[in-house]
């Protein structure tokens, strides 16, 4: 089979044309070199496109088969198709203008008949990815291992009842970490799609937690052994595909990390759609991760309020994204992390150009939200209102309480000696909501 014909030949490289542009494949807001709070937009946003939804997903759903007919889905050997897929992916990344991409190991290379053959396939494709990165300048934001699709992982990977499958998962993660380091990846992500349970009737929950803790410690130990300087990330999700996943949300992950002594070693990759599935907002999960010191990276997508599963749609809710990025900026911005579009076009969007429509719109949306968030930060009215609300804690009495200088008895004596009631103060929620709306 030939790879000479380009799948995206009809699409020109996407350029910034400004807010008045009517070109659906031009950026109206995303000007990568524009300074926002003293830093180029591209450095604030650190966009990445995902390999899996864009180049692996076939459009199937539980009620119907493939709708996409990409040329790398059939017509050659598995390795030939993997090479063709990589060529198309890097053409797409380059024309779109994203500085980064992300992948699972099984996205880029097919599974072989044996573990050795599987590893050989992966290593051959990693060499090709390295050449594409060198040629295009596109970098790897993070790599990860798919420990959930193969039937061997139907009962979990690290949490599997069989230690031999635990070892298979470890072998796969080792190879994916080696590849991530070789390709200059800035993070490594673990997503426990099957690390949970369907029923407690057949589950030893304490044992599975200990297995998962041991697995993650092995990953961190290996990171230091090979000199990988990137960040290890866990991606929280409450359910789907399992009924209950052990990495339910940011707070749950933090408790897990503390139990197994990893809170200084591992951070979180927060996905917007996973946040809402756990009953939280995206901004809540970001703010929680920052408060706990484990904020790492973001997957930018959204769910459908009328559907109870992970729909992975491109972001388009300006208030939600603006407030999410406001918290990112307030917390000091992204470091090794980025904004990865873990989103897929709808199964009716079958043309090659639809991949561009989804990503161009999402990148523009995030750039617009960044400008709104930056104005909120610059003007400081929201932060000022919050500071004023907690002003008493900066006074000597409040500081003494926080520093542990006052016992429960001392606090009681303080109240009784003053012998005055304390009146509550309005939280001004509606006023602050109105203030946010003025920025939009």
- pLDDT per position as a tens digit, 356-380: 999 999 999 999 999 999 999 999 9
Q: What is the pLDDT of residues 130-155, one digit of tens each?
A: 999 999 999 999 999 999 999 999 99
Which one from 104, 132, 284, 359 is the annotated catalytic residue?
Answer: 104
- Residue 3 pLDDT: 47
Pair type for strands 231-234 and 39-40: unpaired
Q: What span, in angstroms and rounded, lies between the C-alpha atoms of 215 and 230?
A: 18
Query: Which among 251, 242, 361 has a CA at the least distance from the CA of 302?
Result: 361
Pair type for strands 339-341 and 47-50: parallel
Q: Which residues of 354-386 are buried (b: 16+ CB within 10 A; e: fewer)?
A: ebbebbbbbbbbbbbbbbbbbbbbeeeebeeee
- How does the average pLDDT of the chain come out, rounded? 97
Report yes or no: 291 and 248 within 8 Å, Cβ to Cβ.
no
**Alpha helices (runs of H) in 298-351, residue ranges in sequence order:** 318-330
What is the share, in percent, of the chain residues with pLDDT greater than 90?
A: 98
Annotated catalytic residue 104: yes
Q: Residue 147 CB: number of other CB atoms within 10 A?
A: 29
Strands (E) in 277-396, as ranges, are 295-299, 339-341
Its sign, for the CA torsion 54, 347, 6, 23, is: negative
Which one from 44, 53, 107, 280 is the annotated catalytic residue?
Answer: 107
Q: Residue 40 CB: number of other CB atoms within 10 A?
A: 13
- Residue 1 pLDDT: 40
- Residue 4 pLDDT: 53
CB within 8 A of 96, min separation 6: which ones? 14, 49, 356, 359, 360, 363
Q: What is the pLDDT of residues 377-421, one digit of tens each?
A: 999 999 999 999 999 999 999 999 999 999 999 999 999 999 999
For the segment 328-332, the average pLDDT, to the nearest whole number, is 97
Is the overall model pTM greater than 0.75, yes or no? yes
Whether residue 114 has pLDDT greater than 50: yes
């Amino acid at each position: 089979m030939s790879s000479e014909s380009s799948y995206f030949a009809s699409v020109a490289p996407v350029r910034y044309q400004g807010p008045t542009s009517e070109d659906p494949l031009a950026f109206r807001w995303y000007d990568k070199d524009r300074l926002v709070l003293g830093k180029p937009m591209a450095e604030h946003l650190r966009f990445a496109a995902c390999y899996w939804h864009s180049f692996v997903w076939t459009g199937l759903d539980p009620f119907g088969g493939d709708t996409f007919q990409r040329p790398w889905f059939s017509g050659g050997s598995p390795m030939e198709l993997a090479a063709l897929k990589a060529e198309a992916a890097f053409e797409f990344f380059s024309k779109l203008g994203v500085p980064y991409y992300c992948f699972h190991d099984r996205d880029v290379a097919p599974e072989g008949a044996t573990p050795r053959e599987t590893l050989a396939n992966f290593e051959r494709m990693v060499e090709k990815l390295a050449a594409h990165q060198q040629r295009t300048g596109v970098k790897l934001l993070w790599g990860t291992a798919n420990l959930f699709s193969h039937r061997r992982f139907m009962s979990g990977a690290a949490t599997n009842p069989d230690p031999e499958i635990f070892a298979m998962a470890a072998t796969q993660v080792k190879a994916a970490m080696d590849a991530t380091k070789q390709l200059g990846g800035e993070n490594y992500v673990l997503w426990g799609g099957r690390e949970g349970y369907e029923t407690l009737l057949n589950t030893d929950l304490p044992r599975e937690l200990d297995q998962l803790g041991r697995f993650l410690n092995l990953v961190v130990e290996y990171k230091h052994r090979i000199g990988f300087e990137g960040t290890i990330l866990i991606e929280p999700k409450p359910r789907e595909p399992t009924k209950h996943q052990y990495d339910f949300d940011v707070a749950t992950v933090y408790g897990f990390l503390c139990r197994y002594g990893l809170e200084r070693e591992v951070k979180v990759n927060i996905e917007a759609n996973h946040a809402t599935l756990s009953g939280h907002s995206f901004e809540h999960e970001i703010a929680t991760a920052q408060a706990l010191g484990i904020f790492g990276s973001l997957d930018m997508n959204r769910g459908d309020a009328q559907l109870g599963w992970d729909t992975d749609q491109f972001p388009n809710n300006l208030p939600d994204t603006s407030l999410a990025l406001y918290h990112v900026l307030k917390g000091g911005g992204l470091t090794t992390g980025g904004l990865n579009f873990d989103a897929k076009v709808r199964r009716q969007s079958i043309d090659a150009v639809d991949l561009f429509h989804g990503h161009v719109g999402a990148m523009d949306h995030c750039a617009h939200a960044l400008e709104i968030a930056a104005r909120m930060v610059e003007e400081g009215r929201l932060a000022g209102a919050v500071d004023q609300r907690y002003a008493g804690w900066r006074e000597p009495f409040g500081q003494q309480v926080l520093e542990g200088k006052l016992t429960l008895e001392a606090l009681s004596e303080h109240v009784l000696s003053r012998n005055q009631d304390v009146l509550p103060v309005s939280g001004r929620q509606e006023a602050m909501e109105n203030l946010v709306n003025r920025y939009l």
